[in-house]
Structure 1
Amino acid sequence: MKLHIPFALIFTFMALQTNAQLKAVAYTDGNQKLNGFAIAPVKKTPQTPGILILPAWKGISDHSKRVAQELAGLGYYAFVADIYGEGNYPKDTKEAGKQSGYYKSHPEDYQRRIKLAMEQLIKFGANPEDIVVIGYCFGGTGALEAARAQMAVRGVVSFHGGLGKDKSRENKKIKTKVLVLHGADDPYVPQEDILAFQQEMRDGNADWQMIYYGNAVHAFTEKEAGNDNSKGAAYNEQANRRSWQHFLLFLKETFEE
């Protein structure tokens, strides 16, 4: 008799099959010191793909580190990028808003920090021809910026990320696959931004997907956000699980081509 094991249980089992540890990595952008985290899978080759993780607006968190560890357990290199740099880490939401707002309005600086982190991921051992960039909230915006900058990556994934960009910026060709995982009730992403993003993907002749999760608001993957949807940001177990499965399918399709 053939045994059928639920997908979620397979993932849970695989994610636990690693003894790899996160390694702090210091790097720089000019005189600015940056502090990221890298992790390698137990079994690796020069062809092993890499995942670059762009954190939410408060910077590197336990959540982004857990994601890196889970990805290493699934056989990928992972690197958590430091976008803000030492001495600039937000102490509260007000500072987080100010810092993230700067990079949203200065996309060339955001793109440069992403590229520097990607260099560290490749230096750590990831195959430079098999890189995917993912991001959460503010980091989701960064993942889209990687696509807009036509970085040499196989795909980008935004988890409950901001979709907008300045209207004065040209819609360019999108050369990489794009996956947007979006809370259907996210109050922080206006319909205007959604429509503009979708038009951007069409104008760019992109291979893109946008998946909506019902009853989910902003930050639906983050347990630290609590579970009160009325606050606009809240964890949603079902949306978190489903979005992770959609993400893994995206990786499978992307890396097996």
Structure 2
Amino acid sequence: MKTRGMLALLGLIWGAAAQAGVVRYQVDGQPFEGYYLAAADKQAPLVVVVHDWDGLTEYEVKRAEMLVGLGYSVFAVDLFGAGVRPTEVEERKRLTGALYQDRAKMRKLLQEGLAEAGRQGGRLDNAVAIGYCFGGAAVLELARSGASLKGIVSVHGGLTTPQGQDYQQAKGRLLIQHGSADEAVSLTDLATLIGELEAAGVNHEATSYSGAPHAFSVLGGANYRADADAKSWLRFTEFLGEVTKG
């Protein structure tokens, strides 16, 4: 979750420069707006970023810029629709709740986002997906769908597996980054997920950061913890180097 102050500050970035990276696409006739930045090397690995319950905003743009600076191409998907960027808690709950209740739609939006990343020039054969909070839960849905990705990373995301689903079709490696002080997602949820991944034979790694609450990596947010964010970002970038080619 992003604070109003952070949104106002980063809004200058979005308004002045980010529009150059905005990608408009459609899913079932409905408009969506993603964000794409290409690395100088057209053969660079691709990172797909999935937003939290605020929608695709300046936070994801900032992370995309950080990743391009490391030599990756980046596509931030839009799961809510063009112009839908909720600022009120009830609206955020409504939008995310609708997708939690319709997992088939969530998967389709994610898959169409991947397809659009490919149309923009991103290398889907050498890609990793990362999601934050709601997006962290969404990328685990992507993993269970059997998406052909080199890696999937959930950062302070929802970790529970919907009834009737499992990780038998998951491909690539999974990296789970969790805050030990997260009051929204429990350590029991983390332990349960680890057990599921182990039972399914999924190559995985899970880290819990001491004292870190939910949304610990959200720059400028009320729950931001610089130490946990620095550690999780470092491990994430190391992970990218391990699972991607080139």
TM-score calculated relative to the size of structure 1: 0.84
Q: Max radius of gyration: which structure?
A: 1
Aligned to 2:228: 239
Give 1:168 deviation, angstroms.
Answer: 3.1
What per-residue deviation string (whole Å, max 9, x for no partner) do you get for residues 21-61 of structure 1? 851111011121001111112x213x311000000011012
* SS of the residue 1:253 aligns to: helix
Aligned to 1:249: 238
Sequence identity percentage: 28
Aligned to 1:150: 146
Aligned to 1:35: 33
Unaligned runs of 5+ in 1: 1-18, 227-233
Aligned to 2:41: 44
Aligned positions of 1:32-181 closer than 5 A:
32-41=30-39, 43-45=40-42, 47-86=43-82, 88-181=84-177
What per-residue deviation string (whole Å, max 9, x for no partner) do you get for residues 116-149 of structure 1? 1111211121222101000000001111111100
Unaligned runs of 5+ in 2: 1-16
- CA contact 2:45–2:245 (8 Å) conserved in 1: no
Please report the RMSD computed on the Cα atoms of aligned residues, expressed in angstroms: 1.9
- CA contact 1:50–1:122 (8 Å) conserved in 2: no
Aligned to 1:198: 194
- CA contact 1:53–1:80 (8 Å) conserved in 2: yes
TM-score calculated relative to the size of structure 2: 0.88
CA distance in 2, matches of 1:128, 1:87: 26
Q: Give 1:90's aligned amino acid.
A: P
What per-residue deviation string (whole Å, max 9, x for no partner) do you get for residues 67-116 of structure 1? 00111111111011110113643231111011112212222211111111
Aligned to 2:6: none
- CA contact 2:143–2:167 (8 Å) conserved in 1: no
The verdict on how the C-alpha distance between 1:173 and 1:202 changes in structure 2, with shifts beyond 3 A counting, is farther
CA distance in 2, matches of 1:204, 1:125: 33
Q: Give 2:239's aligned amino acid.
A: F
Larger RCO, structures 1/2 (Cα 8 Å, 6+ apart): 2
The verdict on how the C-alpha distance between 1:96 and 1:195 changes in structure 2, with shifts beyond 3 A counting, is same
- CA contact 1:60–1:80 (8 Å) conserved in 2: yes
